[in-house]
Structure 1
Amino acid sequence: MFLFEWGYWQTVIRSETDEPRNKLPTDIDITDIPAYESDEIDSLAAARLSASLAPASRGAVYVYDDTNMEMRCGMGEDKRGLITILSLALFATITAGIAGSVNFALVVPYEDPIDGSTVDFFALALSIYLGLLSSGFTIAYVKLGLPISRLEIFTSRHLIIRFNRKTQQVYLHRPHYCGGLVTLPWIGVSSSGANHNSAIAGGVGFPLFLYWSQSFTRSHYPECAWVGKAGNNQSEIQAEWEFIRRFMDEGPEGLPRPRITSHFPWPWQAFTPQFEGLTHYFRRSSRIIKLGLVLISPAFLILGLGHWLSLLLCWKPRWPKIIRKAGLPGKPIPPLTTLADRPPHIQERLRENAHLWAIRPGQRPAKKPRNPRRRPKADSALSPAGASSRNETNASAQTPSLDQGIERYDSER
């Protein structure tokens, strides 16, 4: 459940002296993707425009009033349950080993009628063996396995995000090993639902993606959040984003009231996420595929059971008092999260890695055509393509800075 957030946070705080991780040929390092000022300005401008004529929220929404809207957050909610099943299986193995060790230690000694009472050495040896084996498994699990298990159990039941319309702030609630609680400015948000140019895989199978560059996080690294359910298409993602945007910019008036979801771990909350973002696939699939889905339905049942156990073994997330009271009359506004709010060793790591997230000035260069079949003509400079390239060069030279772009769109607003 928290695997993506945990991996992203490890990428943010990893040191250059750390041992390189093994990567697959298809893996992409997000730090290798450069960001340009023109991209930042365009994404901020698009996030302030209307994205859909039919705003709607598909949930899960936990709080909705005139001040706050709280939603489920995080990537991979539909995959939750597998780590729980493996962790509980390991728990059962360790518990059985400890119980067996205690049982053999309490075996009544064998009483010989001639020599008197003697000790059952086989039971004693088996008890010591099981005790040492269980202790070894327990120590190894606490050091290596527990951090992985806490991605699904013995932690907050959900990652949540809260939008406060009165303070114009966004709050992210995450465990400390995934980045912790963060307060961000609404003005600096970019969204995958702003338009089709910012869409991720057409919105299929991905939740709404929100992003804050390091220009707004004040912590030398960008923040991101996956909000709501996985989408079936980009229209659903745009409608979700438009619902959030109108709530923050205009208020809840005129918006359809979303269905409020309880934090209580009901069983159906564990089985429905498995089918998020797959409605289009089920509708268009052939009869053979539908038959195959019916045959593997026990696997969905087992995964859903693990998801429910995960919910039962977690606790309801709770905001600090200053965030719960934010926006009420006479209550202070929570300060934005800065680098100084992090522990000293985390601050050092973030400073070392600040160059990985630096925004490059100017405009993103145009992509070069790959393997052209014919050589360009000598008079290509007079062709429309040549004129277009000159226009792009002039545009890149006149690209405003990020600060100028933000001031411009603030004045237009």
Structure 2
Amino acid sequence: MYFFEWGSWVMKLEPEEARKDDHKLEKKLGTKRKLPYASEDDEEQADARICVSQTPKSRGPVYVFNDTSLEIRSGTLEAKRGLISIISMSIIALILIEAGLCVKSFMHLIEHLSSPKKPSYWQHIYPIIFLGTLAISKSYLYIRYGLRFSRLEIFTSRHLLIRFNRKTQQVYLHRPSYCGGIVTLPWKGVTSSGASEKTAIASGIGVPLFLYWSPRVTGTLHPEGAWVGKAGNNQAELRDEWEFIRRFMDEGPQGLPRPRITSHFPWPWQAFTPQFEGLTHYFRRASRTTKVGLLLICPAFLIIGLGHWLSLLLCWKPRWPKLIRQAGLPGKPIPPLTTLADRPPHIQERLRANAHLWTVRPGKRPERKTGATFRRRQPKPNNSEQS
């Protein structure tokens, strides 16, 4: 499911009028958006160059691993897809049934009109008008409002991908155009949720490894981020994943354990096993009552798994541009980094208008004052003095 990536891209293009409610909520809660400082960004980038684990390991799914490239599944909720697919296919099936009944009534009308007895044909006209109106109106509403959500799981790329190229020292993100599209980013300048405790997210429980590029690095006036691999059960798993990627890019594949290569073909187990990613932590520490409850809701996992498989079947294998596929090979050009000029003019306009939301402030963050300062109260004048 690409909901997070889609929402992030929509937020980067959101006009000022649409954010008025967000500003009102911030004022009501007394919170304010904190922009990062250059010193903090530099510190996080420096942490990403340090060894954080002695047991580097990729839990995958890994699609490519060779001397040049490492390709891993991306996306924060991609493994949890399924529910939108079930709802979408139910709506599409209902529209097709109504359209089929309308066509069937139309065929009966033709048969009756060709009959020599010329019977009354109004009994067929009414179903044609009623069913045709329902099918057309529902199709319009679905295409106008519902298709954008269906494309988060079906009729799109089967997976979000992230490819690390050791020879070019670049990182490539493969996303649909409505999620930001395919971009080329530099390896130098990346920060990671597995690099230090300061950048860790939720102790690594239930979330994948997160990589981040600040606007100082991207050159597109906005940050870029990618969720890599499976959801973690603890921070140690994410550190091992990050260390595997870091050593591959900085030192090469030598000495790294070879990961299991996953096929892009939508096998059924690729849809059911992801439902339990990041849940081992809860299974181990859960009480007996909780474990019984989890067993009782197993049919729900089965239904979502079926929807997940349906989603994979209705999507197509993601394909990189030729320039990226050949990157790092002898004699082949190095892909240029993605810049603001690569976006359509209307997208450039929105990104420029929202650039202030992601600006990295120069210098260091000012230190907070520990104690409050009070002005000395002036004595009140006496009445005799006033007179």
TM-score (norm 2): 0.90
**Residue 71 of structure 2 aligns to a residue in which SS?**
strand
Deviation at 1:15, TM superposition (A): 1.6
- Aligned equivalents of 1:31 and 1:223: distance in 2? 22
The 3-state SS of whatever aligns with 2:198 is helix
> Does structure 2 conserve the Cα–Cα contact (< 8 Å) formed by 1:208 and 1:230?
yes
The aligned residue for residue 260 of structure 1 is 261
TM-superposed CA distance for 1:117, in Å, is 2.2
- Name the structure 2 match of 1:334: 335
- Percentage identity across aligned positions? 61
Cα distance between partner residues in 1 of 2:193 and 2:222: 19
Name the SS for the 2:171 alignment partner: strand
In structure 2, how many angstroms separate the alpha carbons of the residues matched to 1:280 and 1:140?
A: 42
Cα distance, 1:159–1:110 mapped onto 2, change above 3 Å? closer
How much does 1:197 deviate? Answer: 1.6
Output the CA distance in 1 between the equivalents of 2:90 and 2:12: 32
Partner residue in 2 for 1:10:
10
Q: How far is the alpha carbon of 1:365 from its aligned partner?
A: 3.8
Match of 1:386 in 2: none
Q: Which runs of 5+ in 1 are unaligned?
A: 377-413
Pairing 1:88–2:96 present: no
> What residue in structure 2 maps to residue 209 of structure 1?
210
Q: Distance in 1 between matches of 2:212 and 2:319?
A: 23
Decide whether the 8 Å contact of 1:189 with 1:210 is kept in 2: yes
Describe the SS at the equivalent of 2:300: helix
Give the aligned partner of residue 292 of structure 1: 293
What is the alpha-carbon distance in structure 2 between the residues aligned to residue 257 and residue 160 of structure 1? 19
User: Could you tell me which residue of structure 1 aligns to residue 47 of structure 2?
Assistant: 46
Shift, 1:23, TM fit: 10
Query: In structure 2, the residue corresponding to 1:330 is in which secondary structure?
Result: coil
Letter in 2 for 1:16: E
Q: Distance in 1 between matches of 2:149 and 2:22?
A: 18
Report what 2:129 is aligned to.
128
Q: Aligned ranges for residues 225-264 of structure 1 at < 5 Å?
A: 225-264=226-265
* Counterpart-to-counterpart distance in 1, 2:49 and 2:262: 28
SS in 1 for 2:364: coil
How far is the alpha carbon of 1:105 from its aligned partner? 2.1
1:281 and 2:293 correspond: no
Rate the CA distance shift 1:196–1:19 in 2: closer, same or farther, 3 A.
closer
Write the distance in 1 (CA, Å) between the matches of 2:25 and 2:18: 20
Query: Could you tell me which residue of structure 1 aligns to residue 153 of structure 2?
Result: 152
Q: How does 1:10-89 map to 2 (within 5 A)?
A: 10-18=10-18, 20=20, 32-89=33-90
The 2-side partners of 1:23 and 1:293 are apart by 40
**1:329 Cα deviation (Å)?**
0.7
Superposed displacement of residue 116, structure 1? 4.3
Counterpart in the other structure of 2:305: 304
Is the 1:31–1:356 Cα contact (8 Å) retained in structure 2?
A: no
Query: How far apart are the structure 1 equivalents of 2:362 and 2:208?
Result: 30
In 2, Cα distance between equivalents of 1:260 and 1:161: 15
Q: Which amino acid aligns with 1:269?
A: Q
Q: State the 1:366 CA deviation.
A: 4.5
In structure 2, distance between residues paired with 1:207 and 1:305: 23
Cα RMSD over matched residues? 2.5
- Evaluate the alpha carbon distance shift between residue 23 and residue 310 of structure 1 in structure 2; reply closer, same or farther with a 3 A threshold: farther
Show CA shifts across 1:205-237 (max 9, x none).
Answer: 110000001111111000000000000000000
In structure 2, distance between residues paired with 1:209 and 1:188: 14
State the distance in 2 between where 1:101 and 1:240 align: 55
Quick one: which amino acid aligns to residue 87 of structure 1? S
Task: State the alpha-carbon separation in 2 of the partners of residues 204 and 281 from structure 1.
Answer: 9
Secondary structure of 1:7's counterpart equals helix
Q: Once the 2 structures are TM-superposed, how far is the Cα of residue 24 of structure 1 from its aligned partner?
A: 12
Q: Against the structure 1 CA distance between its residues 24 and 137, is the aligned structure 2 distance closer, same or farther, given a 3 Å change threshold?
A: farther
User: TM-score scaled to structure 1, two decimals?
Assistant: 0.85
